[in-house]
Amino acid sequence: MAADLSAVQAYQAAIRTAQQSAMGSSQDAAATGGGMDFGSMVTSAIADTGQTLAMSERMTAAGAAGEAELIDVVTAVSAAEISLETVVAVRDEVVKAYQEILRMPI
């Protein structure tokens, strides 16, 4: 149950962060005439994935030591797996787009 609450809290935090980023980027976009910074978005996603993977490793170690419940360990590992799969899927799409650009005639 604690893992469910932490997942919900994580989703709520992500929504707040996205809303704040959208508000900040719309103000920045109005000032600079540009859109949301893709590089910082990707950097943030990679950092979040790294944190999720690290938390999963800590929970796995705590579960092996008998300090965490199995459901919490499984939830942490599942969250890390989903996060990593998302990053890999985005990476694959970026690579496809790059290859498509390379195939364009000059």
pTM of the complete model: 0.60
Print burial letters for 27-56: b (CB count within 10 Å at least 16), e (below 16).
Answer: eeeeeeeeeeeeeeeeeeeeebbeebbebb
Each residue's pLDDT tens digit, 18-55? 667 666 555 554 445 456 688 888 888 889 999 999 99
Query: Tell me, what DSSP letter sits at residue 104?
Result: S
Predicted confidence at residue 71, as pLDDT, reads 92
pLDDT confidence tier of residue 13, bands split at 50, 70 and 90: low
Each residue's pLDDT tens digit, 46-98? 899 999 999 999 999 999 999 999 999 999 999 999 999 998 998 899 999 99
